[in-house]
Amino acid sequence: MRKLINFGIIGFGKIGPRHKQKIEGNKHCYLKAICDIDDQRLGEISDNNVQLYTDYKQMLKDPEIDVVSVCTPNYLHAQMTIDALNAKKHVICEKPMALTTQDCEKMINCALDNNRKLFIVKQNRYNPPVQAVRSLLDENKLGKLFYIVLNCYWNRNRNYFAGSTWKGDRKKDGGALFTQFSHFIDLMYWFVGDVESVYAFVKNYNHPEIDIEDTGVVALKFKNGATGAINFTNCAYEKNMEGSITLFGEKGTVKIGGEYLNKLEYQLIENYKVANLPRSKGANDYGTYKGSMSNHHKVYENVVNVLLHNGDIAVGGVDGMQTVKILEAIYKSAELGREVML
């Protein structure tokens, strides 16, 4: 069995270089090509062994590329993923998977039709405290869940949106929950399960130059009987303040906190204590702001395990679609001003 997987990257803006680094850091991965519409970005790539493209469809014609990593703006994910799958490539798609549930379904069906794997990037699932809480839930250490609170208090100042051709544009960006906080929504779903209904309110307080919200509150009902709340904003003064999830159960309460879900801040569990957690990796640093945790190496380890050792996909299209489905319902509720059933 061949032990080397050839990769191509579409999109080399903020997150693309992170993917390049993780591909090159895995002994089973080889970076074959990079595509970006910006010639200047491509000109800064010094590796002569990497083929450079400005047209991703031309890159997809390379028969030696096994996997394509889609690292483009949100609104391009669905079509580029579908094109890559139809070109018989496996795909790693950055978050959010797409901007509509309908597009997610098309991506999933396309992967099935072409017998190719679809991986969705949800790297925060690998944070040590997140893994620990997931184990608590798997082992029923918290008992029946009553209530979950998700707090996302970040800063995205006007410079973040300035000059962007897509950030802050409703049709291209989707909204703050799509671009900044979809990882948090994914973890809420991963911990608690399917959402039954949502009631949301959103508002733009401090970013008049964009047509999406910068703040919102959401009430949720889950199908297992639990209730929840999401509080989010991009208006934290000067820097990110907090990214946290708190779970209240019949046998314990736990809170994952820090700025990026990177600390186990509180635990009180019946006859149990989480101990000796490994340190979390640092957050993705983009110079003027920071994003979610830098666990992309785990994503590529999973790809290698699936393609070379018949392992299971850690986060596939169905999980990615569930996040989008929840987000669609939240924005529909905010638009209609009433509870929306999923």
* Residue 185, domain member (yes or no): yes
- What token pair was written down for 281? 């990796």
Looking at the fold, whether 71 and 58 belong to one and the same domain comes out as: yes
What pLDDT is recorded for position 187? Answer: 97
* Digit-coded pLDDT (tens) for 309-321: 999 999 999 999 9
Establish if 151 belongs to a structural domain: yes
Beta strands 90-93 and 340-341 are unpaired
**Cα dist from 341 to 95, 199, 332, whole Å:** 24, 9, 10
Q: What pLDDT does 163 receive?
A: 86
Crossing angle of helices 101-113 and 317-336, rounded to 10°: 160
Contacts of 161 (CB under 8 A, 6+ apart): 167, 168, 207, 209, 210
Residue 282 — very low, low, confident or very high, per pLDDT cuts 50/70/90?
low
pLDDT at residue 48, as a whole number: 81
Q: Give mean pLDDT, residues 17-46.
A: 95
pLDDT band at 286 (very low <50, low <70, confident <90, very high): very low
**How many Å apart are CA 264 and CA 247, to the nearest integer?**
12
Please tell me whether the peptide bond between 96 and the residue prior to it is cis, using omega within 30 degrees of 0: yes
The reply to whether 143 and 276 lie within a common domain is yes
Structural domain contains residue 169: yes
Assigned domain for 103 exists? yes
Domain harbouring 34, CATH code: 3.40.50.720
233 plus 307 within the same structural domain: no
Rounded to an integer, the average pLDDT of 159-176 is: 95
| Residues 90 and 218 grouped into a single domain | no
Asked whether residue 208 falls in the same domain as residue 239, the answer is: yes
pLDDT of the residue at 279: 78
Instruction: Write down the mean pLDDT value for the chain.
Output: 94
Distance CA 244, CA 261 (A): 6
Could you tell me which residues come within 8 angstroms of residue 65 by beta carbon, excluding any fewer than 6 positions away? Answer: 6, 7, 8, 32, 33, 59, 89
pLDDT in the model for residue 180:
95
Cβ neighbours of residue 93 closer than 8 Å, sequence gap 6 or more: 70, 77, 81, 107, 118, 119, 120, 121, 320
Residue 342 has pLDDT above 50, yes or no: yes
For residues 158 and 240, membership in a common domain is answered with yes
Give CA–CA dist 191/8, Å, rounded: 33
Identify whether 102 is part of a domain.
Answer: yes
Q: Quick one: pLDDT at residue 121? A: 97
Given a cut of 50, whether residue 181 has pLDDT beyond it is: yes
Q: pLDDT category, 278, cuts 50, 70, 90?
A: confident
Give residue 2's pLDDT band: very low, low, confident or very high (50, 70, 90).
low
Q: What is the CATH number of the domain that holds 223?
A: 3.30.360.10
pLDDT, residue 99, reads 98
Q: Are residues 134 and 195 in the same domain?
A: yes
Q: 289: pLDDT confidence band, cut at 50, 70 and 90?
A: very low
Q: Are residues 202 and 279 in the same domain?
A: yes
Q: Specify whether 160 is located in the same domain as 106.
A: no
Segments forming the whole domain that contains residue 193: 125-291
* pLDDT tens digits along 42-70: 998 988 899 999 999 999 999 999 999 99
Instruction: Say if residue 117's pLDDT is above 60.
Output: yes
Q: What is the pLDDT of residue 109?
A: 98
Based on the fold, state whether residues 116 and 132 are members of the same structural domain: no
- Convert the pLDDT of each residue in 138-160 to its tens digit: 999 999 999 999 999 999 998 99
Q: What is the pLDDT of residues 184-231, one digit of tens each?
A: 999 999 999 999 999 999 999 999 999 999 999 999 999 999 999 999
The pLDDT value recorded for residue 283 is: 54
Residues 165 and 284 in one domain: yes
Number of domains comprising the chain? 2
* 90 and 167 part of one domain: no
| Per-residue pLDDT at 254 exceeds 50 | yes
- pLDDT at residue 284, as a whole number: 47
Query: Does the pLDDT at position 292 exceed 70?
Result: no
Residue 285: per-residue pLDDT: 54
